[in-house]
Amino acid sequence: MDKKRSVGILATGSYTPERVLSNFDLEKMVETTDEWIVSRTGIRERRICSAEQASSDLAYEAAKKALARANISAEQLDMIIVATVTPDMMFPSTACILQNKLGAKRAAALDVSAACTGFLYGITTAAQFISNGLYKYVLVVGVETLSKITNYKDRNTCVLFGDGAGAAVIGEVREGFGFQSFELGADGAGGELLCLPAGGSRIPASSETVANDLHYLSMAGGEVFKFAVRVMNSATEAVLAKAGVERANIDLLVPHQANKRIIDSAVQRFGLSEDKVAINLDRYGNMSSASIPVALDEAIAAGRVKEGDNVILVGFGGGLTWGATLLKWSTTPAEGSGQ
């Protein structure tokens, strides 16, 4: 193997469905109000896929944009990693389905199930393959169709979630840039706090599980909130320490978009101004593994990410899981990498 290489994000892409489900729409469906939802979560609307759309369809749209911006073809991909908790089906993997849609005939393909932290688990995995010289290009997609597993009779959860996809092409960048540090973690003891109870080998699908709404996501909101505040701060601190970067030198924080109050706690802790935080949950809600890549893609499109910026991606979710990474931003390929 060659010496370890500098690895970064070469390009991003995102896709959200056309249908908008606003808080006012939800007022007609469950006992809630726009004021209640906004004051407790910061969410005003979310995107909902059509009955015909599956996660691979959303992933395909985001992936096409990322590949075009990276100026590489699907045939050049060595691996596809799809982070999702709403796969098209139990198997084959959504990554294999996406591989076929893209025509990425050379690419290995696998799914990652780490809920809202899935994209971070995916890019951390991708970076190791490229850093060690085994692969040249890896496509990582975070995608969810959470509307398919949301109970729209449960006012505590149906106000939170939306559908979308975000993609990133991971490859070698110029020396010293790209990923500077990673932090991943899990606490399986808290698994039941956020889960989809039925449909697996523990509780197989049956008429009883359907009748008892066990195929909808279940969440202990208060406990998850406390966990999220704690680990988002600690994971951010960890990647700063590993990279030797001071809080004052954070140029952009891209957090998982779950709740405005969780994000506000991090903003206060790290003394960040609004222009240094990417927030879009008011328009999309919680898109689980898609939330970080979609927010990053929109920040890039808005000109909020510049060459050399210190960018932190941080998330938390079911598992329970958490993760973060710090990048010294550059989309410039390494010299001689031959895109």
The model's pLDDT over 63-81, given as tens digits with 9 standing for 90+, comes to 999 999 999 999 999 999 9
Report pLDDT for 4. 85
Is 286 catalytic? The answer is yes
Out of 49, 96, 256, 259, the active site residue is 256
For 272-290, give one letter per residue: b (16+ CB within 10 A) or e: beeebbbbbbebbbbbbbb
CB atoms within 10 A of CB 226: 11
Residue 1 — very low, low, confident or very high, per pLDDT cuts 50/70/90?
Answer: very low
Is 116 catalytic? The answer is yes
Report pLDDT for 316. 97
Instruction: Over range 117-140, report the average pLDDT.
Output: 98
Phi, psi of 16 (to 5 degrees): -130, 145
Out of 23, 116, 158, 259, the active site residue is 116
CA distance 41 to 151: 18
pTM: 0.96
H helix or E strand, kind and range, residue 172: strand 163-172
Nearest to 122 by CA among 79, 78, 69: 79
